[in-house]
Copies of this chain bind each other. A is one copy, B any other.
Amino acid sequence: MRILVVNPNTTQSMTQTIEAAAKAVASTSTEIVAVTSSMGPVSIEGYYDEVFAIPGLLLEIAKAEKGGAQAAVIACFDDTGLDAARALATIPVIGICEAAVATAAFIAQRFTVVTTMERSRLPLEHLVHRYGMGARAKVRAADIPVLSLEDPSSDALPRLRAQITAALHEDKAEAIVLGCAGMADLAAELSHEFGVPVIDGVSAAVKHAETLISLGLTTAKRGAYASPVEKPYLGLMEVFSPTHMAAG
């Protein structure tokens, strides 16, 4: 099996964290292809950044599908461009927020997502609600920039720990979901430290991608995810028209 894992932000070092997490859990028969988007913001913090991360992400998915990938994982916790990717691709596409909350739901009745920036809290609440977990999961923000997770001198980790503590006591969370791809390397350590399951979306998404491949399931192309209609795209966006994307 070949699974594409795209980091939709353009920060190479974060892709390394993501790739390590993906490879650590992949089956021996799975080839993980981790790529960094070639265009867009260096981190995705809120609605505006998200818009400009999607074109590069979709390019990578289209390219990988043509190259034989059997599933794709979008490695940003706001599940950047997930609906458009599902309309574009015929292979299954999984977002790491979606994968993480689906996984948490198998092992806990109540859980809390701890993310980075306050401005991402409501977008994640919308996602959690859409994935059917609005009554089971809370979302907390540690108020830390995404890239500070890569900076050992920052106070990112203490702030993250403080929110986990609050989740356990105030939300009575039974498990914790890490709400950023950049936290993919922290799950095991934090789970050990706090004595509760801690779920990373990247590794969860890789396993769910393997599941869909094994089950022979691909995105339903009837309804909301029907393939894009052929039509002209003008100006700077011309290269993203369904025809261009199909041509590669």
- Of A39, A40, A231, the most chain B CB neighbours within 10 A belong to A231
Bound CA span A225–B123, Å: 10
Cβ-defined contact, B229 with A145, below 8 A: yes
**Set B41, B87, B136, B242: member contacting A233, Cβ < 8 A:** B41
Cβ-defined contact, A122 with B223, below 8 A: yes
Please tell me if A212 contacts chain B, counting CB pairs below 8 Å: yes
Please tell me if A66 contacts chain B, counting CB pairs below 8 Å: no
Bound CA span A45–B227, Å: 10
Bound CA span A242–B231, Å: 30
Which residues in B have their C-beta under 8 angstroms from that of A103? 211-212, 215, 217
Cβ-defined contact, B84 with A47, below 8 A: yes
Cβ-defined contact, A215 with B204, below 8 A: yes
Bound CA span A126–B130, Å: 9
Which residues in B have their C-beta under 8 angstroms from that of A235? 10, 38-40, 56
Cβ-defined contact, A41 with B231, below 8 A: yes
Cβ-defined contact, B109 with A224, below 8 A: yes
A9-58, CB < 8 A from B: 10, 25, 27-29, 38-43, 45-52, 54-56, 58
Cβ-defined contact, B204 with A41, below 8 A: no
Are A119 and B234 also in contact (CB < 8 A) when A51-B55, A215-B204 are?
Answer: no
Which residues in B have their C-beta under 8 angstroms from that of A208? 106, 211
A39 CB, min distance to chain B CBs, angstroms: 3
A93-136, CB < 8 A from B: 94, 98, 102-103, 105-111, 118-119, 121-123, 126, 129-136
